[in-house]
Amino acid sequence: MSDDGDESEGDSDDPTLTHTADGDAQMVDVTAKPDSDRRATARGEIRLRESTVAAVRADEVGKGDVLTTARIAAIRAVKHTWETIPMCHQIPIGDVETDFEVHDDRIVLAVTVATTGQTGCEMEAVQGVTTGLATVLDMVKSAEKGVDGGYDTEIGGVEIVEKVKQY
């Protein structure tokens, strides 16, 4: 996914760059890289019953305000990405934007992260989306549970939709 020499294994200008090899693990050394302004946006969705979405819209979910809780969870996840993804650098988070689109049968979440530093913030954006959507599920799961005790709810379509780097 990297087009700017960030810490991905597949960079064409350094095919040996890797996090793990021969049983060893290491973070990619970014200390020689100059700081730059970086921004990344990720998006995903959770498919829900129309009645569940209506309850979210009306703020009638028993656990509380679903979107506010999911927004807080997404921001917190962005700030703690380095703790959950191995070899991910801890970066200064300058800004986190969360944008929900509520449709009749799904909720779409986009998370945009901004930082100034030596490495990108796309993993932080992805972590924000996945945690935000998982929080939506946690808040509405009683409404989504079927008569058999299972769920038809689906979280998917998670993708990085923008990555920008400026010196």
Q: Which residues partner with 96 through β-bridges?
A: 113
Cβ neighbours of 92 (radius 10 Å): 10
**At 4, which amino acid appears?**
D
| Residue of 4, 22, 24, 138 with catalytic role | 138
Q: Helical H runs in 2-158?
A: 50-57, 66-79, 81-84, 122-144
Count Cβ atoms within 10 A of the Cβ of residue 112 and give its class: 0-12 exposed, 13-18 middle, 19 or more buried. Answer: buried
107 SS3 class: strand
Would residue 138 show up in a list of annotated catalytic residues for this protein? yes
- Which residues participate in catalysis according to the annotation? 138
